[in-house]
Amino acid sequence: MEKLNDAIFACFLQNDYPKLRYLYERRIHVAKNKFQHLMDKLQKVIQRREEAAVKHPAKAQFYAARFCHLQQLYAVMLSYAQLRYRVSDPDEFSLCYAELVSLRQAQKIIFVNLMKLKPNATNIINTESLIDRIFRLEDVYQIGLCAAVKEPLSFLIFITDLNYFVDVIVSINSIKDDCQ
């Protein structure tokens, strides 16, 4: 997921995206295919765990819920990736370049912590940093981005998708409690 997210944000952050669109789109395509392949494998593992869930039904539920949340994260990532098509002038990304970089960094930390989660663990994924960075992007949007860009609604949809991303992470935090 982290590689897919990096490929998506590269489209927003790299000046040569319009010239090398095929290369960037190919990176996204490869990352999507890898993720889908891993999800297929994970689904098979979960099915086997569900069949053997007599001993540990909570773990089977945990992994099934995790699978569902990963699918939701994937869907929201594909949704906010549409920003690259919704913005007709790539120079508009430079107006919020620092905010986009900080968002990507906060998401990297979340992806790392997501991979560390285990059933019956007490650690949670901290979303405060990402929420702060989304608020910062919203402030930039309200202060002038909405007036300076041709398609202001595109950035508003992007911000909404980022907030949904946080909601999914928060729901991932809550499934651990069900397994204990």
Residue 121 has pLDDT above 70, yes or no: no
| Domain total in the chain | 1
What's the pLDDT at 178?
46
What's the pLDDT at 180?
43
Q: How many CB atoms lie within 10 A of CB 148?
A: 13
Range from 58-72, 112-126, 129-143 that averages highest in pLDDT: 129-143
CA dist., res. 115 & res. 2, Å (int): 10
What's the pLDDT at 66?
86
CA dist., res. 84 & res. 127, Å (int): 25
| pTM (2 d.p.) | 0.88
Q: What percent of the chain has pLDDT over 90?
A: 68
CA dist., res. 142 & res. 97, Å (int): 16
What's the pLDDT at 18?
93
Residue 84's pLDDT band (cuts 50, 70, 90) = very high
Residues in Cβ contact with 34 at an 8 Å cutoff, skipping those fewer than 6 apart: 3
- 109-115, Cβ contacts within 8 angstroms, sequence gap of 24 or more: 110/169, 111/1, 111/2, 111/5, 112/2, 114/1, 114/169, 114/172
Domain that holds residue 25: 2-179
Q: What percent of the chain has pLDDT over 70?
A: 92
Look at 121 and 84; give whichever has higher pLDDT.
Answer: 84
Q: What is the mean pLDDT of the chain?
A: 90
